[in-house]
Amino acid sequence: MALRALIETTRFARVRAHLELVRIASGPRAWAYEFALFGFKQGWACLFGGLMLALLLGTHLFYPTSAPLHRYDFLTLAALAIQLAMLALRLESPREAVVICAFHLIGTIMELFKTHAGSWLYPEASLLHIGSVPLFSGFMYAAVGSYIARIWRIFGFAFTRYPPIWATVALAIAIYVNFFAHHWLPDIRLALFAAALLLFGRTWICFTPWQAERRMPLLVGFLLVALFIWFAENIGTFANAWTYPDQARGWHMVSVAKLGSWYLLMIISFVLVSLIHGITRRVQIR
């Protein structure tokens, strides 16, 4: 019934359902097929973020400087069009859109503070902005939320030894507050990493790429996604979407130390999505 329901919904759901119905005898061909299907699903979950990165890079290389519409404003309108199209084509559920709106709001508030503090800046002009922050910037955070919400649904996430919800929410709030407070108070980042290890150290995430359910430590999953966000950030700064103070004299790769910030942001993002999708728990098999 579940596969039949998928076939009757969106085009991606139909393709996904048919691919999952393929049966191959165990062995190298089955492993290769599962890996390819895993990559296909990951790529689809990254659709919003991938399109945003393509827009950043494409407009950096080809957007005419004499255009009547500022590049940043074009990016804002294009991102909004992508979001509306994903909803209209049922590539994204209304509940996932709520997550994305929350990410946009939370991200924009952080952007306003961080740009005021001089952590980074937006070097180009725009009309669609709040303070010094162009509105397209919130969509970069929304891309992270979109990915997590979609991958959660596509792979049917479940968890073993997941910590109490209240504790994860408290950690996410502490991380978010520290992003602001460390400008005046001692940075408690190391304590936050320790708290994350304490809470999630025994948690495994269960996901189903094809036929069999696979598992991995949740903290490893956070790290892998944070690494990809760091790669995307390097593309974004190369495309002059925003710049850090140490890039004022020319572009260079963002410091690997930023991985820590993205790791903590991943925890906030994950907890937010968990409040929408809910936590499906698996009994730990001994």
Label residue 276 exposed, middle or buried (CB < 10 Å: 0-12, 13-18, 19+): middle
Q: How far apart are CA 207 and CA 205, in angstroms?
A: 7
Per-residue pLDDT, 94: 80
Q: Which domain holds residue 24?
A: 1-45
235 in the same domain as 119: yes
Q: Over the stretch 26-78, which tens digit does the pLDDT of each residue have?
A: 889 999 999 999 999 999 999 999 999 999 999 999 999 999 999 999 999 99
Partnered with residue 133 across adjacent β-strands are: 130
56 in the same domain as 30: no
pLDDT of 285 higher than 70: no
Q: How far apart are CA 253 and CA 267, in angstroms?
A: 24
151 in the same domain as 33: no
pLDDT of 179 higher than 50: yes
199 in the same domain as 92: yes
Per-residue pLDDT, 203: 98
Average of pLDDT values for 193-205? 97
What Rg value do the Cα atoms of the chain yield, rounded? 20
243 in the same domain as 180: yes
For the entire predicted model, the pTM comes to 0.90
178 in the same domain as 131: yes
Q: Over the stretch 12-28, which tens digit does the pLDDT of each residue have?
A: 777 888 888 899 988 89
pLDDT of 173 higher than 60: yes
> Would you say 246 and 73 are in contact if contact means Cβ atoms under 8 Å apart?
no
68 in the same domain as 39: no
> Would you say 218 and 204 are in contact if contact means Cβ atoms under 8 Å apart?
yes
Rounded to 10°, the helix 71-88/137-155 angle is 30
Question: How many structural domains comprise the chain?
Answer: 2
195 in the same domain as 142: yes
| Mean pLDDT, rounded, of the chain | 91
32 in the same domain as 132: no
> Would you say 126 and 73 are in contact if contact means Cβ atoms under 8 Å apart?
yes
Smallest CA-to-CA distance from 146 within 99, 90, 84 is with 99
Smallest CA-to-CA distance from 197 within 220, 164, 227, 228 is with 220
> Would you say 138 and 104 are in contact if contact means Cβ atoms under 8 Å apart?
yes
HSE-up (13 A, CA, CB side) for residue 233: 21
61 in the same domain as 41: no
pLDDT of 213 higher than 90: yes
Label residue 205 exposed, middle or buried (CB < 10 Å: 0-12, 13-18, 19+): buried
Q: Which residue's structure tokens are 């309108």?
A: 77
213 in the same domain as 87: yes
Structure tokens that stand for 261 in this block = 């910030």
Task: Tell me the H-state helices in the chain.
Answer: 2-7, 11-21, 28-45, 47-62, 71-88, 94-117, 137-155, 165-181, 189-200, 218-238, 258-277
Q: Over the stretch 75-117, which tens digit does the pLDDT of each residue have?
A: 999 999 998 998 888 777 787 788 788 898 999 999 999 999 9
161 in the same domain as 219: yes
